[in-house]
Each structure stands twice: as structure tokens, then as C-alpha cells.
Structure 1
Amino acid sequence: MDHTQSVAAERTAGDTAALSGLKFSKGHGTGNDFVLVADPNGALSLSPEQVAALCNRHVGIGGDGLIRAVPSRLLAEGQELLSAHPEAEWFMDYRNGDGSLSEMCGNGVRVFVHFLIAEGLVDLPAGESLVIGTRAGAKTIVRTAAGYAVDMGPWEFIFPGEATARAMDSLVSADGLEVARPALSVSMGNPHTVVALAETAELEATQLFTAPRVDPIPPHGTNVEFVVPAEPLVHEGAGTITMRVHERGVGETQSCGTGACAAAVAIRHWAGQGAPDTWNVHVPGGVVGVKFFLGPEGHEHVELSGPAVIVASGTLS
């Protein structure tokens, strides 16, 4: 270990030492992994540096992000949400692996609810639903036999005029791709830019050690999905795609729930009239389901379904 690495490790150790005695769990949804902590009294204050230290895979617990379970009434964003959704008792306070705040995480929602159940904070039998708060609004989750299904809410194009006119709104460059590729930017409460590739070999050759370059980039940055449609695209009424993703503030992850939804939105848009409403999205960590349906306010919603697993629990030394 050189001097720079040694100093960084000492700094990380100092950040986590201040949290000695903190109880935590580690969970994942199709490989998208999280450190989870319960804060029923709203007393836990986590700095970006402490979050990054906990999510560090070498000297911390390790995770793509950190989720704090806190009552909505004890968080400013939660109090605002409760006026319209008084049933959203719990708020998913989500941070990226670098400590920055994030609006939403589709895989994280499933793991968050599974954590609430495991901690005895909620009771949710199979077939019943729960409403939680997020920075992207209230989300309704149904417990299923195979995991959880989340109403992710309505989707929208980030640059609607460009998307409608040309079915693309930006160009994306990445290491391993010879030329910049056209892309479509979709909001699922957080921003995504979707690139379609022709074959699996291109997907495997794309290097995501560094962030892809997006031009123009959405105002708050973006997650970038590289997607290969199956051949044939539709089988037995369902579309199938394979995806890799580079997440803001994290890097490449094994899965991204909102990214899977955005990828299905883009491919379905490009496929045109007659494209299915049900999709299977293959990610390095497994498979998630995406389904489109008409929401109560008349806008099209997206449902994300998949497993959630708690793999360990412990206490910081």
C-alpha cells in the first residue's frame, strides 16, 4: 500500500469509528447491494464521508448505496410528502455509494421494505401492499410470492421535444465503443440515458470503469444504460432485453431497478406501435420484470418486480 492509499484508509477508518455500535444489515436486489440502518427516532446523522466509508468495499461494509429507514414525520422531505400520503409512515433515505443524495432506487425500494419486515417495523403478508416515502414521491409496494412489485409511478422523457421528434436526444461515448451512440433520456424520478447496442459482443466490450460521456447531459447528471434487445424481441407476449448500467455516484452496478424501467421505456418507444407492455430485463445480477399500466391520474405507470435478500446483520466495531 502506498502513502496515498494508507492515508485514505486511515481517513475511512476514522469516519467509521465515529459510528461505533451502529447496527446494520446488508442486502441486495439482483446484485444491487446496500448497507441498511434503522433510525426509528430520527437521531442518526450521517455525513457524506461516513456513508462513503461504510459503502467502501475494501475498508467498509461495502455497497452500491446506503439506505436509512426513518419515520417520514422526522424528515423534512417526509413531512412534505405526508400531507398527500399520510399512510407513508416510513421514508427511504437513500444515499449513493459516494455519499451523495439520490432521489430513488428501484432495487433499493424492494430491499428497504424487506428490511422493514425483517426488523419488525412493519407487517406485510404476501398479497398486501405498503406505501413508503422517497425523494421521488410515495411508492406503493406489493409483497408477492417471488419478492416485491413496486409501482414506480409515471415515466417521462427528460428532453420531450427531442425525443418525440427524433426518438433520440443525446449522444453517448464510452470506452470500448468506437463511436458515440444515439441515446434517449428518461426520468423515473431520477435521470437515465439509454443506449441501444446491436449485439452482446458490443455490450461486453463496453468499459464502465469511468463514467460514459453524455451530450447534452441532463441537468442533474444521469445514469447510463447500455441495452441489447433480444432476437426475437418479443416472445409469448413479453419483450426481453439485456442491460449493463453505470450509476451516478457509484460506477457500474450489478443491477439498477429504475434503469431497467428506463431501458424498457426506451426500447418499447423505439419498437413502436404494438410493442408489449410486459418486459424481462436481464442484468448481471439476475432478472427483473417491468410492466406498463395506466395509473389513476391517467398517466402511464411502470411496475418493477423482483427479489430482495438480506444477507447479513451486525454491529460496527
Structure 2
Amino acid sequence: MTEIHFTKGHGTGNDFVLFADPDGLVECTPERIRAIADRRFGVGADGVIRAVRSASLPEGRALIVDAPEAVWFMDYYNADGSVAEMCGNGVRVFARYLTEAGLVELPAGETLAIGTRKGVVDIQRQTTGFQADLGRWSLGLDGNGSDDIMVRARNLDGARPGIGIDVGNPHVVVAVATDDELTDVDLTYVPVLDPEPLHGANVEFVLPGDPLIRDGVGHITMRVHERGSGETLSCGTGAIAAALAVRYWAGAGAPDTWRVRVPGGDLTVRMMATEEGEHVALAGPAELVFVGDLTV
């Protein structure tokens, strides 16, 4: 048995258990992660995040060869114990945790580099939370085209075409036509994807705003079924994927800033041109709500 001192946090209702293990000594088995994330017998969370020095993990050591500034690594696990490449809400909450725990300093205007399985993510503090630059994205999954995935979900009539988007982790975005369709889809059941992406995918159901664009900003509403966690109140990379999909569908002239409403609140997605290609950034709140001790 292992004793851990943990912190519970969330980003727009997407909740996490975080704990510090600088030297990577805690064995994060799937069984142990599931026990921590269990909402009846554990602390309860959509995911578990271990704060470990990059130098203490093989994935982290590979990163700091080119990015030595990424001292800390976000070792992220879904509630079912599976490993995830990235979590847009989680990385903001992780930044808040590191700063509140005194493990790093992040003055206004400065950037904090965090190691992840997706690569290095740059974080900046904002008045109402944090913004994370999640880097480049790509259209399509598993090297396939973007519009060749059909999605079936309980209480949604027929199979719907989905667009595959990779934001460091895989997503399939499906448009719905009405508030009722968005509300009625039953995400206690796993959506069925045809073909099923090699590594599975998060699935976003998106309702474009009416009007879609207000004051130069796009507006959408979203629900999500997260791979390995089920329906969550929010998904940061899912919000990015949804905004990218709707911009793609809207065509030329669509904005590069989007407000995404999820059941847990509101997030802002920005697309930014860089020398290496377009980056996407996610901004929103990151809250720490309580601490405790746990034997696992």
C-alpha cells in the first residue's frame, strides 16, 4: 500500500485527482488509478494526474533533450486506468497545481513549459485562469481522411458523419441540428464509430450557435463522450476539436476565435499561425477544490 497526499481540481467541471511524485516512485497501475478515480469508493475523478519530474520518466527524458525547460511532466491517466496523450483541461489544472504547491513560479507574462505525451505544452497565466498552447493539429485519424467516420449514438436518429481531428489525442466531431438532439443523445452508452479508429477516440456532439458568429467570434455548444472516462462535463481538447471542425465546415471567412459552451462552463479556443504551422490554444478556468490523504 502507498500513501499519497492528493489535491482535487477541475477545469469547467472536468475533474482530476493530482498528486506529486517527483522521482516517479509510485507505481501507477490501472487498478490503482481506477481505485482513485472511483466515484463511490475512491476520491472520484475523470482522470488522475501525477506530477513527476521529466527526468524521472522515459517519455520525459526524451522531451528534455530538446526542451530542458520542461522540468515537470503531466503523467495523465483516464478514469479506467488507461494512459492518455493529452488533456486540455487537465494541463491547465496541472499548471495551477504546480504553482499553488510551490513547485514552479509563473509570473504574469512568463511561460511555463510542461512535458506531456503529446510533447511540450506552453502555459500562460490569465486573469480568469490559464491558457495552454497545445501546438499543431491535423485533420483525419490514423492517416485517413477527415469525413469518413460514421457515428451512431443512443437516441440520435441514424448514423451521422463525423470528422476526425487529432489534437495530440484523437477526436471525432459530429454536428447536431437542434437543442433537443444535443440534449437527448444518451452518452451513458459508448458511441459506435465505423470504422473504429485504431486507438479509439473522444466523440463530440456539437450544435452551432444561431447566429454562428457574433462580434467576430464563433459560438458553439458541445457534449462529449471521453475515451476511457465516459461523458464528462467538459473536455478541453474536445472543445478545440469541435471548434476546428465547425470552422472547417463554415469555410472561408470563419473566425479563428471560438467560444465553446460545455455543461461545465465556457472555454475559449484560438487558432494561431506560426512558422511551423497553425497552433491551437485553449483558455479557461482551473480550480483546486480540496486536499486529502489516501492509501492505495
| TM category, shorter | over 0.9
**1:192-203 equivalences in 2 (<5 Å):** 192-203=171-182
Separation in structure 1 between the aligned mates of residue 274 and residue 57 of structure 2, nearest angstrom = 28
Partner letter of residue 184 of structure 1?
A: I
**1:174-189 equivalences in 2 (<5 Å):** 174-189=153-168
Tell me the TM-score normalized by structure 1.
0.91
Report the number of matched residues: 294
Task: Tell me which of 162, 168, 171 is aligned to 2:145.
Answer: 162
Match of 1:42 in 2: 24
1:157 deviation in Å?
1.2
Q: Secondary structure at the match of 2:123?
A: strand
Match of 2:120 in 1: 138
Q: Does 1:73 align with 2:73?
A: no
Asked if structure 1 preserves the Cα contact closer than 8 Å seen for 2:59 and 2:117, the reply is yes
Match of 2:269 in 1: 290
Separation in structure 2 between the aligned mates of residue 223 and residue 244 of structure 1, nearest angstrom = 11
1:161 deviation in Å?
6.0
Deviations 1:77-129 (Å, cap 9, x if unpaired)? 00001111111000000000001100000000000010001111001122221
Match of 1:265 in 2: 244
Separation in structure 2 between the aligned mates of residue 199 and residue 155 of structure 1, nearest angstrom = 28
- What runs of 5+ residues in structure 2 fail to find an aligned partner? none
Asked if structure 2 preserves the Cα contact closer than 8 Å seen for 1:47 and 1:99, the reply is yes
Asked if structure 2 preserves the Cα contact closer than 8 Å seen for 1:173 and 1:212, the reply is yes
Asked if structure 2 preserves the Cα contact closer than 8 Å seen for 1:27 and 1:308, the reply is yes
Asked if structure 2 preserves the Cα contact closer than 8 Å seen for 1:154 and 1:295, the reply is no
Separation in structure 1 between the aligned mates of residue 135 and residue 121 of structure 2, nearest angstrom = 7
1:219 deviation in Å?
1.2
Deviations 1:244-269 (Å, cap 9, x if unpaired)? 00001100000000000000010000
Deviations 1:218-262 (Å, cap 9, x if unpaired)? 211000000000011000000000000000110000000000000
* Percent identity between the two aligned chains: 54
**1:192-231 equivalences in 2 (<5 Å):** 192-231=171-210
Partner letter of residue 250 of structure 1?
A: S
Separation in structure 2 between the aligned mates of residue 100 and residue 36 of structure 1, nearest angstrom = 16
Separation in structure 2 between the aligned mates of residue 245 and residue 115 of structure 1, nearest angstrom = 25
Task: Tell me which of 38, 42, 60 is aligned to 1:60.
Answer: 42
Greater helix content: 1
Q: Does 1:236 align with 2:215?
A: yes
Tell me the TM-score normalized by structure 2.
0.97
Task: Tell me which of 22, 27, 32 is aligned to 2:9.
Answer: 27
- What runs of 5+ residues in structure 1 fail to find an aligned partner? 1-17
Decide which structure has the larger Cα Rg and report it. Answer: 1
Asked if structure 2 preserves the Cα contact closer than 8 Å seen for 1:158 and 1:218, the reply is no
